[in-house]
C-alpha cells in the first residue's frame, strides 16, 4: 500500500483496466483530512452506503474531543474505524492483492491520504434469488426450501437447522482467476478428524484458474474418475445436508451454486430421500424397496429383453412367444438394433426436453411419445413390446432421487444390452459380476463405497435398505467412524 491517495487511485484504476463500474467518492473531513471510498457498482448495497457510511463520515466525522491536527494518518484511520463508521464488519488491509480481492467481492475500500493502511467495509448488495422450493429433489412432505447461489445464505440455512456451537465453518479461496469462496461445514465434536483433514488437503491441492460450480470441486477431489457411479453426493436441500452433517459428514459449499457436496458418500445414500425420514418407518421402507426395484428394472430390462428374445426363447411362455413373434414379423432389425434405436431416440428426446423452452416442451413430449412411437410401430420399425420395455425403463430411471445415480444407470444399460446381444444371459451375468467387483473396490474419501454391505456393519443396517423407527436409531452410522456415536438416549457431555 502506498501512502499517497492519488497514487493509490491511479494504481486501482490501472489494476482494473479503467473499468467503468469502479466508483470513487472523495471526501474531506475537517480542514485537511482527505479520503476516498472505492467500490464496484452493482456489488454493494448503495442504500446502506449512503444512509450509513457516507452519513457517518459527513455528519459525524471527528468528535469535538478529537484533535485531528495532532494525529497522524494511521491514527485518524483508526479513529474513524472505532468511533465514526456505522458498520459492523470493518477490517484493516495492508496487502494490495487482498484489497483488490475484497473490492471485487462486494466490499467498500476506504483510503486516507498519507496512510499505508486501508479499511475494508463489507457491504455486499448484489441481487440474489430468493429461497424457494428445491428443483432437483422434490418431496411431498418436508421443508420446501432450497439453497440459493449465495454462499452466506446457504450457510445460514444450515445453521437454522443445526443451532450448535460445534458447527464449524471454514472458508477457502480457490481459483487463481475467479477466486471463488469455497466453505466446509462440519460438527467438530462428531466428525472424524481424519476426514476433515483429508477434505482440506484435497481442496488446498486444487490448482486451477476457475471454479464456477460445485461440479468442478467434485471432479478435483473424488477418489477416482474411472467409474460411472457418483462417489460424492450433492443436494440443493438444506435438510439433507444438515442430516449428513449430523451423521459425521463434511459439507462443501461453493459460492455461485445451490448444489452442496457431502462427503464421504456411499452407494446406498443415493437411494435415500429426505422424505424417508418424515414418513413412518414402514412407508419409508416400502419406498426404498421400490427404488431398488426401479434401479434393477432401469438397468436390466432392455438387456434381458434382448437376451431372452435372441437366445432364450424357451424361457418365455408359449402364448407370449407367439405374440412377440407376430409383432416382430415385420420388424427388419434384430432385437439388439431395435433396442439401441429406441434407447438412443429416448435419450435424444430426454435431452431435448431439458434444453427446450418450457412453453413448447409439452409439444415435444406429445410428438415424442405419441406421434413418433405410434408411427414407428405402425411402420414396422419397432415392435409394441419394445415400446413398453423402453417406457418402463424410462419411468424407472426417474424413480431414483439422485440424478447422478440415474445417469450411471443409463451408461450401464447400454453396456449390458451389448453383452446380452453377444452372449445372452451369460453376458448379462458376466457384466453384473464386473459391476459388483467394481463397486466393491470403490472408495469415497478412503471409506468403502459399499458400506455397510461390504464391509458388513450390522448396526448400520437399521438405516440402509430398510429404515427402523426413530426410537431405534440410537447411534450414528459407523461408516464415517464418527468421534461421537451416540445420537439419542444419553446426554452428551459438554466440553468445558
Give the residue extent of every domain in the chain.
5-122, 151-265, 281-447
Question: According to the model, what pLDDT value does residue 290 have?
Answer: 94
pLDDT, residue 362, reads 59
* pLDDT for 422: 92
Q: Per-residue pLDDT for 486 more than 90? A: no
**pLDDT (mean) for 396-410:** 90
* Res 60: pLDDT: 67
SS3 category, 103: helix
Poorest-confidence range of 33-47, 186-200, 434-448, 481-495? 481-495
Are the CB atoms for 96 and 1 separated by under 8 Å? yes
pLDDT, average across residues 30-34: 75
Q: What is the pLDDT of residue 134?
A: 86
- Show the beta-strand stretches assigned E in 103-158: 107-112, 118-122
Cβ burial, residue 149 (10 Å; 0-12/13-18/19+)? middle
Task: Tell me: pLDDT of 371 over 70.
Answer: no
Given this model, what pLDDT does residue 3 score?
73
pLDDT(459) > 80:
yes
Give yes or no for residue 492 having a pLDDT over 50: no
CA atoms within 13 A on the CB side of 242: 20
Q: With bands split at pLDDT 50, 70 and 90, how would you rate the model's confidence at 370?
A: low
Band of pLDDT at residue 190, cut at 50, 70 and 90: very high
Q: How far is CA 279 from CA 138, 246, 276, 320, in A?
A: 14, 19, 6, 40
Specify the pLDDT at position 47: 82
For 263, the 3-state DSSP assignment is strand
pLDDT for the residue numbered 495: 40
* Residue whose entry in the numeric block shows the C-alpha cell 474419501: 445
Nearest to 108 by CA among 128, 83, 80, 143: 80
| Average pLDDT over every residue of 118-129 | 82
Does residue 363 carry a pLDDT above 60?
A: no
Report, as an integer, the average pLDDT of 234-261.
94
- pLDDT for residue 286: 94
Summarised one tens digit per residue, pLDDT across range 276-314 is 999 999 999 999 999 999 999 999 999 999 999 888 888
Q: How many CA atoms lie within 13 A of 214 on its CB side?
A: 26
Predicted local distance difference test score (pLDDT) of residue 67: 62
% of the chain surpassing 70 pLDDT: 92
pTM of the model: 0.86
Half-sphere exposure of 275 (CA within 13 A, CB side): 14
| Mean pLDDT, range 321-349, rounded to an integer | 83
Q: Say whether pLDDT at 231 is over 80.
A: yes
Mean per-residue pLDDT, 251-263: 95
Between CA 189 and CA 165 the distance in angstroms is 10
Least confident range from 145-154, 318-327, 469-478: namely: 318-327
pLDDT at 493 over 90: no
With vertex at residue 263, the alpha carbon angle to CA 261 and CA 265, rounded to the nearest 5 degrees, is 105
Q: How confident is the model at residue 268 (pLDDT cuts 50, 70, 90)?
A: very high
Q: List the single range of 42-46, 123-127, 360-364, 378-382 with lowest mean pLDDT.
A: 360-364
Higher pLDDT among residues 384 and 434, named by residue: 434
In the prediction, which pLDDT does 443 show? 94
Q: What is the mean pLDDT of residues 93-98?
A: 87
CA atoms within 13 A on the CB side of 167: 20
Asked which of 67-71, 203-207, 219-223 is least confident by mean pLDDT, the reply is 67-71
Q: Which helix (H) or strand (E) holds 200?
A: helix 193-205
Amino acid at each position: 500500500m502506498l501512502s499517497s491517495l492519488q497514487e493509490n487511485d491511479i494504481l486501482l484504476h490501472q489494476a482494473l483496466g479503467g473499468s467503468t463500474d469502479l466508483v470513487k467518492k472523495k471526501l474531506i473531513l475537517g480542514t485537511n483530512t482527505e479520503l476516498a471510498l472505492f467500490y464496484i457498482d452493482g456489488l454493494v448495497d448503495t442504500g446502506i452506503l449512503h444512509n450509513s457510511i457516507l452519513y457517518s463520515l459527513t455528519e459525524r466525522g471527528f468528535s469535538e474531543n478529537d484533535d485531528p491536527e495532532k494525529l497522524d494518518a494511521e491514527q485518524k484511520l483508526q479513529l474513524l474505524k472505532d468511533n465514526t463508521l456505522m458498520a459492523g464488519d470493518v477490517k484493516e488491509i495492508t496487502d494490495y492483492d487482498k484489497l483488490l480481492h475484497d473490492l471485487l467481492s462486494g466490499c467498500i475500500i476506504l483510503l486516507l491520504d498519507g496512510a499505508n493502511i486501508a479499511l475494508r467495509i463489507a457491504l455486499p448488495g448484489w441481487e440474489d434469488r430468493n429461497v424457494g422450493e428445491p428443483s432437483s429433489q422434490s418431496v411431498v412432505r418436508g421443508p420446501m426450501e432450497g439453497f440459493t447461489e449465495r454462499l452466506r445464505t446457504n450457510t445460514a440455512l444450515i445453521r437454522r437447522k443445526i443451532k450448535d456451537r460445534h458447527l464449524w465453518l471454514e472458508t477457502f479461496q480457490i481459483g487463481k482467476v475467479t477466486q471463488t469462496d469455497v466453505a466446509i461445514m462440519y460438527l467438530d465434536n462428531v466428525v472424524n478428524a481424519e476426514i476433515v483433514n483429508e477434505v482440506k488437503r484435497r481442496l488446498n491441492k486444487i490448482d486451477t484458474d476457475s471454479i464456477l460450480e460445485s461440479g468442478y470441486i467434485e471432479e478435483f477431489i473424488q477418489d477416482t474418475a474411472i467409474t460411472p457411479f457418483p462417489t460424492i453426493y450433492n443436494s440443493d436441500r438444506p435438510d439433507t445436508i444438515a442430516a449428513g452433517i449430523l451423521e459425521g459428514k463434511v459439507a462443501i459449499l461453493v459460492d455461485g451454486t445451490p448444489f452442496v457436496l457431502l462427503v464421504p458418500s456411499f452407494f446406498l445414500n443415493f437411494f435415500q430421500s429426505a422424505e424417508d425420514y418424515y414418513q413412518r418407518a414402514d412407508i419409508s421402507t416400502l419406498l426404498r424397496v421400490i427404488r431398488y426395484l426401479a434401479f434393477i428394472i432401469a438397468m436390466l430390462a432392455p438387456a434381458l429383453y434382448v437376451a431372452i428374445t435372441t437366445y432364450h426363447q424357451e424361457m418365455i411362455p408359449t402364448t407370449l412367444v407367439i405374440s412377440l413373434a407376430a409383432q416382430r414379423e415385420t420388424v427388419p432389425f434384430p432385437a439388439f438394433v431395435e433396442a439401441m434405436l429406441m434407447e438412443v431416440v429416448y435419450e435424444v428426446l430426454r435431452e431435448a426436453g431439458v434444453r427446450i423452452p418450457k412453453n413448447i416442451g409439452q409439444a415435444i413430449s406429445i410428438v415424442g411419445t405419441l406421434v413418433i412411437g405410434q408411427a414407428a410401430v405402425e411402420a414396422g420399425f419397432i415392435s409394441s413390446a419394445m415400446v413398453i420395455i423402453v417406457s418402463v425403463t424410462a419411468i424407472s430411471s426417474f424413480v431414483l432421487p439422485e440424478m447422478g445415480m440415474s445417469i450411471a444407470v443409463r451408461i450401464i444399460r447400454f453396456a449390458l444390452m451389448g453383452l446380452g446381444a453377444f452372449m445372452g444371459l451369460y453376458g448379462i451375468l458376466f457384466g453384473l459380476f464386473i459391476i459388483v467387483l467394481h463397486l466393491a473396490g470403490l472408495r469415497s474419501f478412503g471409506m468403502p463405497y459399499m458400506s455397510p454391505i461390504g464391509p458388513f456393519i450390522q448396526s448400520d443396517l437399521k438405516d440402509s435398505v430398510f429404515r427402523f423407527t426413530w426410537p431405534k436409531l440410537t447411534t450414528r452410522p459407523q461408516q464415517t467412524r464418527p468421534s461421537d456415536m451416540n445420537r439419542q438416549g444419553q446426554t452428551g457431555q459438554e466440553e468445558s
